[in-house]
Amino acid sequence: MSGAISGSGGLTTGWDDNANVTLSGTQANTYTGLTTISSVSVGTAGVLTLQKSPNVTAIAGDIQIGNPSSGSRGWLQLGAAEQIADTSVVTFRNIAGSYGFFVLEGNNETIAGLNDATGRGIVEASESSDGQNSTLTLAGSGSYSFTGGSGAGIRNSAGHTSILSLVKTGAGTQTLSGTHSYTGATTIQGGVLKVNGSLSGSGTVTASTAGTLAGTGTLSGVVSVGSGCSVSPGDPDSLGGVGTLTVGATTLQSGSTLSVQVTSSTCDKLSSTGTLTVNDGVTLAVTTTGGMTLGATNVIASATAVTAPTTPLTGMGEGTLILSGTATHKIHYTGTEIQLIVVENGIGSVFTIR
């Protein structure tokens, strides 16, 4: 189909088993309805290839891959770069034993976000080729949640050398649960990337210009949090949503923020499997949600080795006092931990570290 498709209606590719449709040409499609990629029978897959000229919109609305009613799979693949509107949400709806695919095939693409609650969606750089390195950018302003499952999730390719990278922009929140094995870089430039599952690949994770890395999951790669960015273990959207975020070797750059919640019995924690470096000029933001016990010690970060700021009593330096609610905490470093010690509980009693 090489012409322009317009109107408020949608497009469904599932009129026949294993239907293979290509949207091509030089004119943008402007139809705004849902694009559904599926087939008729259980286990079959409808394929939609987007191959208009680079940066010409083939799909302007939201996309559904798979059809739970028929039990069929959907396969969306790119034949050129930037074929989907930046505001489009890609949602996988597949039943057990049926996987849906979004294959970039060496092209870069920007969408709003990824949704899949079933763990049956696969996002990859290539299914059958080497060297098809691709970058997927998530630029939406809403909340999106994508769950990786056994054999599914965000990955490089199926047994080939193509690599997928991920960029988070926009003001929205993208949650990644389950396991994702891609090894390209993860770059956070806006909004929140909440990792509640596992990024098991070796790629670096960088919060570069804005945005927040959050969650209760595990990241295997090296993490760098830049100026104007933050790292927030647990769930920053839920008061009392305390948890541990496990990361590789991590550096908090000057101008970055570590945000933690502290309750009367527990606290958020950033747990590094390598060295945690805290540079001068890092801010610690503490939210308290319950009564504090005088003298209580809360471990907000741990690592094989912790490198503390060189300047005490400022930023996140040794001995800095942090006021939150009715409690005052003092920052204390050991060789492997960053601790918050309650030195005032709101009643006027002061605990002195000796």
Three-class DSSP labels, 44-98: CEEEEEEEECCCCCCECCCEEECECCCCEEEEEEECCCCCECCCCEEEECCCCCC
166 and 298 both lie in a single domain: no
279 and 344 both lie in a single domain: yes
Q: How many CB atoms lie within 10 A of CB 202?
A: 13
Asked if 131 and 157 count as a contact pair (C-beta separation under 8 A), the reply is: no
Which of 133, 151, 184 is the last residue in one of the domains?
184
Which of 137, 167, 184 is the last residue in one of the domains?
184
272 and 198 both lie in a single domain: yes
133 and 203 both lie in a single domain: no
200 and 120 both lie in a single domain: no
225 and 139 both lie in a single domain: no
Note down pLDDT in tens along the chain; length 354 residues.
Answer: 899 999 999 998 866 666 789 999 999 999 999 999 987 665 566 789 999 999 999 999 999 998 777 666 789 999 999 999 999 999 999 766 788 999 999 999 999 999 998 888 999 999 988 999 999 999 999 999 999 988 899 999 988 899 999 999 999 999 999 999 999 999 999 999 999 999 999 999 999 989 999 999 999 999 999 999 999 999 988 888 899 999 999 999 999 999 999 998 899 999 999 999 999 999 999 998 877 888 999 999 999 999 999 999 889 999 999 988 888 999 999 999 999 999 987 643 333 333
154 and 272 both lie in a single domain: no
149 and 204 both lie in a single domain: no
pLDDT of residue 70: 66
43 and 78 both lie in a single domain: yes
pLDDT of residue 200: 93
When divided into structural domains, the chain yields a total of: 2
Which of 184, 219, 241 is the last residue in one of the domains?
184
pTM of the model: 0.94
- Alpha carbons 138 and 56: distance in angstroms, whole number: 18
pLDDT of residue 347: 43
What domain range is 287 assigned to?
193-354
84 and 205 both lie in a single domain: no
79 and 146 both lie in a single domain: yes
199 and 151 both lie in a single domain: no
pLDDT of residue 352: 36
